[in-house]
């Protein structure tokens, strides 16, 4: 299966939605990294789950890297947080 993750809104001010492509059939995981490379949040999506919401309300303004796996392949997206 192929496809990319949709992340919105970006820039974010609080909640951030991650939406997997409809072709994603296996469980996957996500990691949110600060610009120093530290994992500041992470989680998983069950097989068949297409969307997850991350609450970024407690994080500092700035840029973050969201790493998501879809069917064993990792992709990175930059997320900008502005409260």
Mean pLDDT of all residues in 6-27: 89
* Predicted local distance difference test score (pLDDT) of residue 76: 94
β-strands 15-19, 39-45: how paired?
Answer: unpaired
* Predicted local distance difference test score (pLDDT) of residue 40: 96
pTM over cut 0.85: yes
Mean pLDDT of all residues in 4-32: 89
27, 35 contact by CB (below 8 A): no
| Per-residue pLDDT reduced to its tens digit, 24-82 | 778 889 999 999 999 999 999 998 888 999 999 999 999 999 999 887 889 999 999 99
């Amino acid at each position: 299966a192929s496809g990319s993750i949709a992340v919105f809104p970006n820039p974010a001010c609080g909640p951030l939605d991650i939406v997997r492509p409809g072709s994603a059939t296996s469980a996957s995981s996500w990691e949110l990294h600060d610009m120093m490379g530290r994992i500041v949040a992470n989680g998983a999506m069950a097989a068949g789950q297409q969307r997850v919401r991350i609450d970024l309300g407690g994080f500092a303004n700035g840029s973050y890297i969201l790493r998501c796996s879809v069917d064993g392949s990792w992709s990175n997206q930059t997320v900008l947080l502005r409260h």
